[in-house]
């Protein structure tokens, strides 16, 4: 069967099922908002006199609230149906399904989602970088008054050190941008060289301090770990078990270190030690793998819950709606 | 049988995908409709987290760091919820910070979900405050050690930290007896231990909730540098059950709000998926051995 | 009676300036007691509460040596006998005019402790200190330092001396062997299969006429793994240039893209294939972890590269990339120091460079004797670490068996030398 | 530019910049007056990285525009990417639809860029989050297929790998409790959930420690190779 044909069928099936679902019970995938009237007293200062600022915000709210309010007073204006968020909800559902479809095969839906996410997220991080780094740090230091008067009134005034550092940063940045100039692009290697050098220098300190020394000292475990009982003397079995654990630990660390030796061929004693080391590493990896499965499944569960709960309204674990979910599902099963 | 083996050997991985989808979606639907969850028996690491928080007297400032983003929400949101739930119930002074840019939104969501919903008497800026995000990873941590206000000059709402009641008497990180960390990677618990806990000279205790992938990497630090550890959704579920059972009024039979059962709900799909994985590993090996036997036969 | 009231007033006044909850409470207790004093609580001839805690006997303050200055350690000797007091309040003052401040809050410590450190003072300035014991039903008289103490500025941070020596030691090992290698001393390193495989992988890609995919991790240039990844890229792209294989490098950071372009371009130049270099093959995708992965895996499925290299700092995306690569039958070689991701690379890739192996990759590939030498230096440092561990374990064992012996002291000494 | 001076500017100067910057930062950690340089440089780095975004955006635009103009296969997707990029950038930088901040209502720009009601927030909520977190969720499937393929008892190492994973998998679920819950207390150490904890605390700790120590040494040596100008492959392996 040609891929295109397959996808037409798949999409058609989904559309039909969704159509059925929409016609059952309270339908599905609608978003509501709540009106929030903001009113803030502004104290007078040299720039402006005292005043009261009023504006309206719309915050997302559970369908239950809307339904309740409607029951109470059909003409209420506090809660409203939100086209924007409803469309968003359907969009989110589409993207979710599109990404999952990649598991079957690459397809137009996935490529669309891929194209969207590249564009959106690249810009997203650009914006974050601008508002969270450039504005408070760079502009906050170079043009404090502007930032203070327009964006962050409570940003503390920059110190001389910060100002100097930021001019330096600006210089590096401009060198980097020389890459776009017709000539002299080679100078963009300088800031990169600076960054690489700095990273190398700083990481030596942090790694030796917090990893090499700390982990070495942490391995100073007694091979005999006395477990003292309530009445004083050593308790035999607990002591043995605790000691065994320590012995295994120390052996493991030493053998794994042997595995990492580069100038020694893995032969003879070193070879045997290295082999034990590999075994420890394998156990380590197996355990890590096992643990990770949990997390990954949780993530998948969250996405499927989104589809079932927010979109299809099949389940309602958070009690967002009034509709009796079970009955809705029941009637849906009847349809099939 | 041999036919079954040949199928196994040439199994298209998409069948595995389908099986996984079913084994996760099935339990979700079931639990979602019936509301039944599986029982939990807390491990020491999870109990330790509960104890550390319970040990603090009401009004004690506690530093709560949300170092994750929505991508890991499935795993970490339940932890965040019950951690804040216990802190709020205990009446601790909650100071929220984030070293991940998307942290502050998650903090606000959690505040909405727990504090605003169930602890309306707690006042923003007095009983809790969202100090928001600072870029700079470890650098921020190092600055916090000597000067909190320098690391976080203004709160998420743009108020100077000096003017925040909830931060009264907080000069440096070590003024917090406890650090509650929820993290999904770098920077996260490991960095906090390296740069803050180890250099605070035992002044700060730390409990953390982390993703499954980080759990093994953090065990070397528990219980010395790390006083409590919630590993993945399992840890979340154990801790959640602890908090719920301790906070539920003894006599009342009122149902626990669904938002405080998120982790335990998610253990259902966990079971399904884990059993599938185990089955897959067994099948994989059956196929492998059968294959090898046939090879041996061929050679002999 | 009056005098005691005065003391308490003084404290509550002093405290008003300080910005600490603890002291605010203190002032409240003080004020409360002031009221109490008038009626019930019996007083002694000095006018102090009988039930009030005794004051500290003596107090001394001294500069904390080898620090950035501005830190002074205050220690005092509590009065003998049990006391109802719950905490000490330490205060400082620049002048000592007849025992009165202005006093500024320094620290509040539990009654069990008998010392505190006043930090963040202006270096080279002198201060007087005083300590007061507080109990729920009153406060002791104050005990004040006789002479002013100064937090001197030291040029070197003493606490970091062990760290400095450790770094010096490791560096010495590495540098010694680099120099030894330069003097022509032969250096052997064991074969690392994963690195041997790189050349074959590039060759295979060339034969199949397919491209090579190189992902230098998803972190920025301030992560040493990214830098290490780029050094590997430098070597790989040189081989690729020699074989005339197309290499593609998607990056999730703008800076990394720029750095990768520099590395690849220079390698093509060095291989005498400057003409074959295509800057657009090294492109920025997005900072967003999973946006980046969405692109790369989609790209893999469509372009079907013959060889995939993952060299740098990876997180969850490791398995998505490796499984996708596996499904298109590419040779996959991974290297990372992110131990949490190693299991997935090990499970899904043909070869995996584990931690230190990855860090050594560039040196190994370069084949330059002095770089190989540095690996030997690493080994020596490793051996030293192992020996220290063994010594530590022996001491710890001794300490555990005979807690009274000299072993515990020795163990503590060793830990101290190592700076922890 | 003359050949000699070109070589100096393009290779020697950068090399020395790296060497000097590196050693200065390395030493700065040990002297009071320079101790805080690390943090300052961190700020500098973040700013440079933010500025570098211009280059990234440039490359993104260039590559996709080229696709469109060449009418490459799938050029439509390139167009979509560009449109999404432009829209998000504009509404984000312009804080479109962002309500005033309740703290400083008079300041037009003081609102949260992703507050309720802002277009940027909407994009984040309904495009960024669903796609990224679903991409992340794919791992659940890949973990399964990887386990099926890789966890086969080929040799001792593989057996250890898969059996550990097996124990942890069982121990971390309700299944483990059921399977070994019957064990009496004196043998409680053999209960799966505890067993997996022991594996963590002994074997896992040992393995990770060695890896961490190794990495620390590796990082030091790598950094030194760069700082001594021995490894110049980051600026091209040739000299």
**What pLDDT shows up at residue A26?**
77
For residue A283, the model assigns a pLDDT of: 94
Pairing of strands C126-135, C149-150: antiparallel
Q: pLDDT (tens digit, 9 = 90+) per residue, D14-41?
A: 999 999 999 999 999 888 888 788 888 9
Count Cβ atoms below 10 Å from residue D27 Cβ, excluding itself. 14
Residue A330's pLDDT is: 62
Find, in chain A, the residue whose alpha carbon is nearest to that of B263.
Answer: A298
Give the pLDDT confidence score for residue C98 in this predicted structure: 55
* pLDDT level of residue D159 (50, 70, 90 thresholds): very high
Label residues B197-214 b or e (16+ Cβ within 10 Å = b).
bbbbeeebbbbbbbbbbb
pLDDT at A95: 97
Encoded tokens for D19: 């060497």
Cα dihedral across residues D81, D83, D84, D85: positive or negative: positive
**Residue C100 bridge partners (DSSP):** C97
B101 contact A CB<8A: yes
Residue C19: band (very low, low, confident or very high) from pLDDT cuts 50, 70, 90: very low
Residue C226, pLDDT > 80, answer: yes
Nearest CA in chain D to C259: D234
- How many A-C residue pairs are in contact by the CB < 8 A criterion? 176
Let me know the angle formed at the C-alpha of C104 by C102 and C107, rounded to the nearest 5 degrees.
150
Helices (H), A208-235: 214-218
CA-CA-CA-CA dihedral for A258, A264, A266, A269, to nearest 10: -70
In contact, D238 and C266? CB cutoff 8 Å: yes
CA dihedral D150, D153, D154, D155 (to 10 degrees): 120
Evaluate if residue C1 carries a pLDDT over 50: no
Residue B17's nearest CA partner among D123, D143, C85, C18 is: D143
Listed by start position, the domains of chain D span 10-93, 95-140, 151-239
Find the Cα–Cα–Cα–Cα dihedral A161, A162, A164, A166, rounded to 10°: 160
The pLDDT of residue C5: 37
Model pLDDT for residues B69-123, shown as the tens digit of each residue: 877 887 899 999 999 999 999 999 999 999 998 899 899 999 998 999 889 999 9
Is residue C274's pLDDT more than 50? yes
Least CB-CB distance to B215: which of A103, A104, A291? A291
Of A239-253, C25-39, C197-211, C400-414, the least confident: C25-39
Q: Which residue has the higher pLDDT, C32 or B294?
A: B294
Q: Per-residue pLDDT for B253 more than 70?
A: no
Q: CA A60, CA A89: separation in Å to the nearest integer?
A: 12
Whether the Cβ atoms of residue B186 and residue C316 lie closer than 8 Å to each other:
no
What lies within 8 Å, CB to CB, of C397 at 6+ separation is A222, A223, A224
Residue B178 lies in a domain: yes
pTM (predicted TM-score): 0.84
Q: Are residue B205 and residue B277 in the same domain, yes or no?
A: no
Total domain count, chain B: 2
In this predicted structure, the answer to whether residue C156 has a pLDDT above a threshold of 90 is no
Whether B53 and B80 map to the same domain: the answer is: yes
**Is B33 close to A315, i.e. CB distance below 8 A?**
yes
Q: Assess contact for C58 and C163: CB atoms under 8 A.
A: no
Query: What's the mean pLDDT in C154-165?
Result: 84
Residue C9 has pLDDT above 50, yes or no: no
Query: Can you read off the two tokens belonging to residue C171?
Result: 């560096």
Q: Chain D: nearest CA to A55, how far in angstroms?
A: 8
CB contact under 8 A, B16 and D144: yes
Please check whether residues B149 and B240 belong to one and the same domain.
yes
D contacts of B74 (beta carbons < 8 Å)? 133, 137
The answer to whether C36 and C22 have CB atoms below 8 angstroms apart is: no
Cα separation, B151 vs A309, whole angstroms: 40
CB contact under 8 A, B216 and D104: no
Residue of B nearest to C324 (CA): B13
Which CATH number covers residue B77? 3.40.50
Contacts of C383 in chain D (CB under 8 A): none
Residue B158 clears pLDDT 60, i.e. is over it: yes
The residues, any chain, with a CB within 8 Å of residue A143's CB and separated by 6 or more, are none
Provide the b/e sequence for B282-292 (b: ≥16 CB within 10 Å). ebbbebbebee
C389 contact residues in A (CB cutoff 8 A): 216, 219-220, 250, 253-254
Q: Are residues B191 and B120 in the same domain?
A: yes
pLDDT digits (tens, 9 = 90+) for D86-144: 999 999 999 888 887 777 777 778 777 877 788 999 999 999 999 999 999 999 999 99
- Identify the chains in contact with C, defined as 3+ C-beta pairs within 8 A: A, B, D
Tokens for C6, please give them: 């005065």
**Spatial separation of the C-alpha atoms in residues C391 and A21, rounded to whole Å:** 71
pLDDT of residue C12: 36
Model pLDDT, residue D185: 65
Domain boundaries, chain C: 2-150, 187-367
Say what the pLDDT of residue C28 is. 37
Q: Do both B127 and B189 map to the same domain? A: yes
Tell which of D90, D108, D203, D217 to mutate to test the A interface (max A CBs under 10 Å): D203
Its domain, for residue B179, covers 44-247
DSSP A128-170: HIIIIIIIIIIIHHHSHHHHHHHT-TTPPPPPHHHHHHHHHHH
Taking CB atoms and an 8 Å limit, are A301 and B224 in contact across chains? no
pLDDT of residue B131: 93
Q: Is D56 part of the contact surface with chain C (CB cutoff 8 Å)?
A: yes
Greater confidence (C205 vs A313) lies with C205
C183 versus B293: the higher-pLDDT residue is C183
Average pLDDT, chain B: 86
Give alpha helix (H) positions in C284-368: 289-303, 317-327, 342-348, 356-366
Q: Alpha helix (H) ranges present in A224-267?
A: 236-259
**Mean pLDDT of the region B10-36:** 89
- pLDDT tens digits for chain A (336 residues)? 455 677 788 889 989 988 888 887 777 888 999 998 888 888 777 777 788 888 888 888 888 889 889 889 988 889 999 999 999 999 999 999 999 999 998 999 999 999 999 999 999 999 999 998 999 999 999 999 888 888 888 788 888 999 999 999 999 999 999 988 888 888 999 999 999 999 999 999 989 988 898 889 989 989 988 877 667 777 777 788 788 889 999 999 999 999 999 998 888 999 999 999 999 999 999 988 887 887 788 889 889 999 998 998 888 877 788 765 555 666 666 665
CB D19 within 8 A of CB A147: no
**Strand positions, DSSP E, chain A:** 32-42, 51-61, 79-81
Indicate if B73 and B214 belong to the same structural domain. Answer: yes
How many Å apart are CA D22 and CA A209, to the nearest integer? 17
Q: What is the pLDDT of residue B74?
A: 77
Q: What is the pLDDT of residue C41?
A: 46
pLDDT tens digits, one per residue of D219-233: 999 999 999 989 888
**Residue numbers in A near C187 (CB within 8 A):** 263
What local confidence, expressed as pLDDT, does residue C21 receive? 34
- The pLDDT of residue A55 is 84
Report the pLDDT value the prediction gives residue A220, as an integer from 0 to 100: 92
Beta bridge partners of A15: none
% chain D with pLDDT above 90: 52
User: Which chain B residues are within 8 Å of D153, Cβ to Cβ?
Assistant: 285, 288-289
Q: From chain D, pick out residues whose CB is under 8 angstroms from the CB of C164.
A: 30
> CA C227, CA D234: separation in Å to the nearest integer?
7
Please name which of C340, A186, A212, A234 lies closest in space to residue D213, comparing C-alpha atoms. A212
Provide the 3-class DSSP secondary structure of residue A191. helix
Which distant-in-sequence residues (6+ apart) come within 8 Å of C38 by Cβ? none
* Segment C127-141, tens digit of pLDDT: 888 888 887 667 788
CATH code assigned to C2-150: 2.60.40.10
Residues 6+ apart with CB under 8 A from B70: B102, B105, B106, D129, D132, D133
Pick the CATH number of C187-367 from 3.20.20, 3.40.50, 3.40.190, 1.10.3470: 3.40.50
How many residues make up chain B in this entry? 300
Please count the other Cβ atoms lying within 10 Å of the Cβ belonging to residue B186.
18
Percentage of chain C beyond pLDDT 70 is 84
Q: Which of A125, A126, A256 sits opposite D206 (nearest CB)?
A: A256
Task: List chains adjacent to chain A, taking adjacency as at least 3 C-beta pairs closer than 8 Å.
Answer: B, C, D
Quote the distance between the C-alpha of residue D24 and its chain's center: 27
Collect all residues of chain B within an 8 Å Cβ-Cβ radius of residue D42.
Answer: 136-139
B61 with B177, same domain? Answer: yes
Does C95 score more than 60 pLDDT?
Answer: yes
Question: CB atoms < 10 A from the CB of A230, how many?
Answer: 6
* Nearest C-alpha neighbor of A274 from the set A292, A254, A291: A254
Average pLDDT over chain C reads 83
pLDDT above 50: residue C40: no
Name the 3-class secondary structure at A49: coil
CB A212 within 8 A of CB D213: yes
Torsion angles phi and psi, residue D214, rounded to 5: -55, -45
Residues of C with CB under 8 A from a CB of B: 19-22, 119-120, 219, 289-290, 313, 315-316, 327, 339-341, 420
Q: CA-CA distance, C28 to C135, in Å (whole number)?
A: 12
Q: Chain B partners of D173 at a C-beta cutoff of 8 Å?
A: 234, 267, 270-271, 274-275
Q: For residue C216, report the phi and psi dihedrals to the nearest 5 degrees.
A: -85, 45
- On whether the CB atoms of residues A234 and A226 are closer than 8 A, the answer is yes
Q: Are residues B97 and B222 in the same domain?
A: yes
- Res. C18: pLDDT tops 50: no
Q: Which helix (H) or strand (E) holds B267?
A: helix B262-299
Compute, in degrees rounded to 10, the torsion defined by CA atoms D10, D11, D15, D17. -20
Q: How do beta strands B205-210 and B178-183 pair? A: parallel
């Amino acid at each position: 069967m040609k891929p295109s044909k397959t996808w037409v069928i798949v999409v058609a099936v989904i559309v039909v099922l969704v159509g059925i679902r929409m016609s059952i019970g309270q339908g599905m995938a609608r978003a509501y908002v709540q009106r929030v009237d903001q009113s803030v007293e502004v104290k007078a200062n040299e720039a402006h006199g005292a005043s009261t600022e009023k504006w309206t915000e719309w915050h997302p709210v559970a369908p239950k609230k809307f339904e309740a309010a409607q029951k109470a007073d059909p003409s209420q204006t506090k809660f409203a149906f939100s086209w924007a968020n409803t469309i968003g909800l359907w969009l989110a559902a589409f993207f979710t399904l599109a990404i999952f479809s990649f598991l079957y095969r690459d397809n137009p839906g996935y490529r669309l989602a891929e194209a969207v996410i590249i564009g959106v997220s690249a810009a997203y991080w650009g914006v974050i970088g601008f508002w969270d780094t450039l504005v408070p740090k760079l502009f906050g230091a170079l043009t404090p008054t502007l930032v203070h008067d327009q964006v962050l009134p409570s940003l503390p005034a920059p110190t001389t050190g910060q100002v100097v550092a930021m001019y330096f940063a600006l210089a590096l940045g401009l060198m980097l941008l020389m890459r776009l100039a017709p000539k002299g692009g080679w100078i963009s290697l300088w800031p990169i060289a600076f960054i690489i050098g700095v990273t190398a220098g700083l990481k030596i300190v942090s790694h030796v301090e917090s990893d090499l020394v700390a982990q070495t000292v942490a391995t100073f475990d007694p091979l005999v770990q006395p477990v003292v009982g309530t009445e004083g003397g050593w308790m035999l079995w607990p002591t043995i078990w605790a000691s065994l654990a320590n012995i295994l630990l120390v052996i493991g660390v030493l053998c794994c270190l042997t595995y990492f030796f580069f100038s020694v061929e893995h032969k003879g004693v070193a070879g045997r030690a290295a082999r034990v080391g590999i075994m420890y590493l394998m156990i380590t990896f197996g355990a890590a793998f096992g643990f990770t499965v949990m997390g990954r499944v949780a993530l998948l569960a969250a996405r499927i819950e989104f589809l079932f709960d927010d979109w299809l309204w099949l389940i309602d674990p958070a009690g967002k709606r009034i509709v009796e979910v079970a009955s809705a599902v029941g009637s849906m099963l009847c349809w099939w | 049988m041999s036919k079954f083996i040949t199928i196994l050997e040439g199994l298209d991985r998409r069948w595995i995908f389908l099986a996984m989808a079913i084994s996760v979606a099935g339990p979700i639907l079931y639990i979602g409709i019936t509301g039944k969850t599986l029982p939990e028996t807390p491990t020491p690491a999870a109990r330790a987290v509960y104890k550390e928080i319970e040990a603090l007297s009401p009004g004690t400032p506690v530093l709560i760091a949300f170092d994750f983003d929505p991508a890991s929400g499935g795993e970490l949101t339940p932890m965040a919820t019950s951690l804040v739930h216990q802190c709020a119930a205990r009446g601790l002074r909650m100071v929220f910070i984030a070293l991940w840019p998307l942290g502050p939104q998650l903090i606000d969501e959690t505040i909405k979900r727990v504090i605003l919903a169930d602890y309306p008497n707690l006042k923003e800026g007095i009983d809790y405050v969202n100090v928001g995000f600072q870029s700079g990873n470890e650098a921020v941590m190092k600055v916090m050690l000597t000067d909190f206000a320098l690391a976080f000059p203004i709160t998420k709402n743009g108020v100077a930290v000096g003017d925040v009641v909830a931060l009264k008497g907080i000069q440096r990180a070590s003024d917090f007896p406890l650090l509650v960390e929820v993290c999904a990677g770098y920077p996260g618990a490991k960095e906090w231990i390296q740069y803050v806990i180890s250099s605070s000279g035992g002044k700060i205790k730390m409990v953390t909730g982390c993703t499954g992938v980080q759990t093994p990497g953090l065990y070397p630090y528990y219980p010395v540098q790390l006083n409590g550890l919630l590993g993945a959704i399992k840890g979340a579920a154990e801790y959640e059950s602890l908090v719920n059972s301790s906070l539920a009024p003894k006599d009342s039979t009122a149902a626990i709000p669904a938002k405080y059962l998120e982790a335990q709900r998610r253990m259902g799909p966990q079971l399904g998926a884990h059993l599938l994985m185990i089955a897959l590993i067994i099948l994989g090996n059956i196929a492998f051995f059968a294959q090898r036997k046939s090879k041996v036969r061929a050679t002999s | 009676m009056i005098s005691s009231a005065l003391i308490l007033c003084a404290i509550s006044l002093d405290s008003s300036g300080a910005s600490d909850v603890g002291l605010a409470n203190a002032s409240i207790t003080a004020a409360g007691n002031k009221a109490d004093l008038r009626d019930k609580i019996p007083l002694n001839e000095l006018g102090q509460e009988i039930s009030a805690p005794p004051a500290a006997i003596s107090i001394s303050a001294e500069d904390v040596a080898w620090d950035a200055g501005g830190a002074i350690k205050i220690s005092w000797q509590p009065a003998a006998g049990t006391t109802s007091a719950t905490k000490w309040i330490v205060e400082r003052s620049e002048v000592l005019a007849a025992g009165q401040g202005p006093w500024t809050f320094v620290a509040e410590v539990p009654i069990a402790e008998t010392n505190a450190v006043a930090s963040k003072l202006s270096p080279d300035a002198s201060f007087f200190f005083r300590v007061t014991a507080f109990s729920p039903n009153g406060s002791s008289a104050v005990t004040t330092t006789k002479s002013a103490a100064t937090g001197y500025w030291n040029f070197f941070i003493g606490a970091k001396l062990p760290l400095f020596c450790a770094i010096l030691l490791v560096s010495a090992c590495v540098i010694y062997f680099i120099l030894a290698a330069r003097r022509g001393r032969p250096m052997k390193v064991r074969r690392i299969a994963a690195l041997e495989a790189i050349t074959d992988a590039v060759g295979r890609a060339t034969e199949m006429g397919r491209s090579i995919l190189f992902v230098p991790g998803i972190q920025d240039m301030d992560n040493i793994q990214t830098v290490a990844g780029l050094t590997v890229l430098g070597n790989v792209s040189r081989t690729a240039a020699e074989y005339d294989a197309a290499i593609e490098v998607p990056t999730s950071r703008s800076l990394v893209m720029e750095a990768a372009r520099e590395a690849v371009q220079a390698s093509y130049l060095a291989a005498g294939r400057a003409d074959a270099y295509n800057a657009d093959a090294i492109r920025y995708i997005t900072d967003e972890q999973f946006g980046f992965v969405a692109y790369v895996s989609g790209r893999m499925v469509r372009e079907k590269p013959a060889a995939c290299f993952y060299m740098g700092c990876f997180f969850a995306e490791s398995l998505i990339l490796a499984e996708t690569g596996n499904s298109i039958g590419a040779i996959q070689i991974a290297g990372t120091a992110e131990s949490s991701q190693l299991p997935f690379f090990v499970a899904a890739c043909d070869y995996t460079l584990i931690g230190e192996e990855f860090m050594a990759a560039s040196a190994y590939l370069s084949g330059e004797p002095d770089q190989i030498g540095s690996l030997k230096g690493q080994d020596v440092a490793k051996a030293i670490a192992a020996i220290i561990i063994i010594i530590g374990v022996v001491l710890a064992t001794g300490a555990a068996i005979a807690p009274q012996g000299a072993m515990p002291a020795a163990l503590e000494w060793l830990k101290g030398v190592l700076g922890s | 530019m003359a050949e000699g001076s070109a070589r100096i500017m393009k290779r020697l100067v950068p090399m020395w910049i790296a060497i000097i910057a590196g050693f200065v930062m390395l030493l700065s950690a040990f002297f009071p007056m320079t101790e805080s340089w690390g943090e300052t440089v961190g700020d500098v780095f973040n700013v440079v990285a933010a500025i570098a975004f211009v280059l990234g955006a440039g490359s993104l635009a260039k590559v996709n525009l080229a696709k469109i103009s060449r009418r490459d296969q799938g050029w439509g997707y390139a167009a979509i990417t560009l449109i999404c990029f432009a829209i998000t950038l504009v509404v984000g930088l312009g804080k479109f639809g962002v309500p005033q901040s309740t703290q400083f209502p008079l300041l037009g720009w003081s609102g949260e860029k992703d507050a309720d009601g802002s277009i940027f927030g909407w994009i984040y909520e309904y495009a960024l989050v669903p796609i990224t977190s679903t991409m992340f969720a794919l791992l659940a499937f890949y973990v399964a297929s990887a386990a099926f393929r890789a966890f086969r008892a080929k040799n001792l190492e593989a057996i250890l790998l898969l059996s550990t994973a097996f124990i942890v998998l069982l121990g971390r679920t309700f299944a483990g409790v059921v399977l070994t819950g019957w064990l009496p207390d004196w043998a409680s150490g053999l209960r799966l959930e505890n067993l997996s904890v022991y594996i963590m605390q002994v074997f896992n700790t040992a393995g990770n420690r060695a890896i961490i120590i190794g990495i620390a040494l590796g990082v030091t040596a790598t950094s030194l190779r760069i700082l001594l100008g021995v490894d110049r492959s980051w600026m091209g392996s040739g000299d």
